[in-house]
Structure 1
Amino acid sequence: MASPTAPTISATGISAPTYAEVLAYLQSKYRSIYGDDIYLESDSQDGQFLGVIALAISDANAATIAAYLSFSPGTAQKAALSSNVKINGISRAVPTNSQADLTIVGQAGTVITQGFAQDQNNNKWVLPATVTIPPSGSIIVTAVCATAGAISAGPDQINKIATMTRGWQSVSNAFPASEGAPVETDSALRQRQKTSTALPSRTVLEGTIGAVAGVAGVTRYVAYDNDTKVTDVNGIPGNSLAMVVEGGDVSAIASAIAGKKGPGGGTYGTTSATVMNVYGMPIPINFFRPTYRAITAAASLKALPGYTSAIGTALQQAVSDYVNLVAIGGGPSGTVEWADALTAANSIPGSNTFKLTALTLSGPGGPGTPDVPLAFNEAASCTPASIVLTVT
């Protein structure tokens, strides 16, 4: 029979006694050997010795539980989680560079080799190794910023040709760049692992979403399937699939959609790429890049004992982080939720040092009522500096 200090595995999972329970067990065994009158409090030599043993047992139990939990993607952490998700054909995202969809305009047939574009801040954006301008005179390609990190570029800010090529006339970006990201967190990787299980799904739509989610660099995405014969409220034509995808390479996203979408169904969006099928036939694939809706907020606080400016800064960061995590299109509610922003503000460490007396969210169209609605292809965007604090 196992010692009562050891971990046990039952139908509900793994468990182990606490440090206090282990120490009490050792003390009871010690007294059964040396007598009930022996002094074993923490200020005695024997008591301290038993405390060291109890701590060692508890640490070993914790390591055993961690090893047990590391076999499940839902509970594994760090390197163990990175290893688990390989079963689903995905891997933890490494730090990425910003990406932007560039419209290259020039003479038909012009070949741009190892091309660069440049933005207004002199950041270089690397084009694919070879870009051939088609007969239409323009092509959309995904460029990668040469500088790692969250390099931003607004619409039409990437407009300089850095490598002069005969026949290449202009370059521009119709949409803001997708900023680079740090190494993927455990929580984000778990969520992506759940989505990736849709790849072998029984529905075509789930399989398409799973394929797009697995494209390197993709951060947020949403799919709208109009399976009727009439245009829906979002302007999506009948019998068409519209996906809104943030991040990732245009060609890779188009290939993922083409490989999973059902035959005969059209795709809809403002970004287009052509994919060749197994028979060498061109398939035009359309999808949306999100347009960004700037969200601001005004918060009024009543400071209580212990409040510092650092706590106010943490509140601004928490509300900003919530807004930036809202799903494209606002999720099921279609809005940036005032109640969720309020919860984020009141959940920071030190929230007991202030009383939040007012919080208002606003978009470009004015204050929310109290939520801020998002269009189907809009992504909410917010910075901590956009959260105005009034402290009394």
Structure 2
Amino acid sequence: MSRLIVLATGGTGGHVFPAQALAEELGARGYRLALITDRRGDAYSGPLGSLETHTISAAGVSGRGKLGVISALARLGVGYFQARKFLKRLKPDAVVGFGGYPSLPAMMAASHLGLKTVVHEQNAVLGRANRLLASRVDRIAASFEFTAELRARDQKKAVWTGNPVRPEIAALANRPYPEIAADSSINILITGGSQGAAVFGQTVPAALGLLSADLRKRLHVTQQVRAEQLNEVEAHYADMDLAADLRPFLNDIPEQLTAAHLVICRAGASTIAEISTAGRPAILVPYPYAVDDHQTANAARLCDAAGAWMTPQSDLTAESLAARLTELLNNPRTLANAAQAAARIGMPEATYQLADVVEGLVDGNGKDGLKPAKRALEAAA
């Protein structure tokens, strides 16, 4: 019988997307797979939706009051015993967690049962659940070469794999950046993650309205707009006679990235992985309320590589964005250079490298052979 790998994930798309990519790759390598997740797992489709799924109790602790924390801890405790029961029955060859509190009970149980364990960290800051697990697991797979909150004693088990992306995104690594010729159209992609970003619906249309008429008529905008803002944003672009494709959810991101000359977006882990894999320049506006401000850390990694420009949401105004767009859109060479820089740190091979880490752990042969992940300077204290 083929070997069994259990994936432990849940929560936001940033945790789920890498698990989906890994599931597809490990399945192609002949492994059997099972999933331990929270109640949101019922909605999964694709590679995760077809797996044998075991649902456990889980809850996040951050941002809750005292009673909320007590309730969340109780639910995590129940989830631990549920996961332990499942794992004792399944007897997997390894358990892979993807951060977030839904993965915590299963990974703690796996550690206590002496199973082989890997956690994958999507962000440039080691998440709180993964911090709790770091000293207990066998391997830590990092998306970024430098990861904040990675302790010195855990660095020896950390490897730099990158953040897995969908095969359709990985294929974009071979697509050239589209040339911006004189007087040709310029494609701008605006996306705010799975929920959209209200600030983009408010600020981007106003900023585009401040551009010169000659520049504005060259633009084609594809924008994710929250449903409650859609009519207002549509009216604004219609008044400007600006070509725009506006939707609450963009289900064709690979196609949109292929055509994009510039992306305006948040700085979630999956977003950074996708735009760097595709090699597209971006204006990044990190979500200001992310736990440990990890989106700012994510954005900094891409900006330090000269592949993007970051603007804190508190500084984002129509005027500042219009000035930035005028500068960039009138200098195609600047955008093309940033595209090349983003592509240099893209890791379309991340799925295969993470699978190698898991397979090497199962086989006990150290197969991964990857560069070590390092503590970020801000975490050195």
Structure 1 length-normalised TM: 0.21
User: When the two structures are superposed, what TM-score results if normalisation uses the length of structure 2?
Assistant: 0.22
Going by fraction, where is strand more abundant, 1 or 2?
1
Report 1 or 2 for greater relative contact order, CA contacts < 8 Å, sequence distance ≥ 6: 2
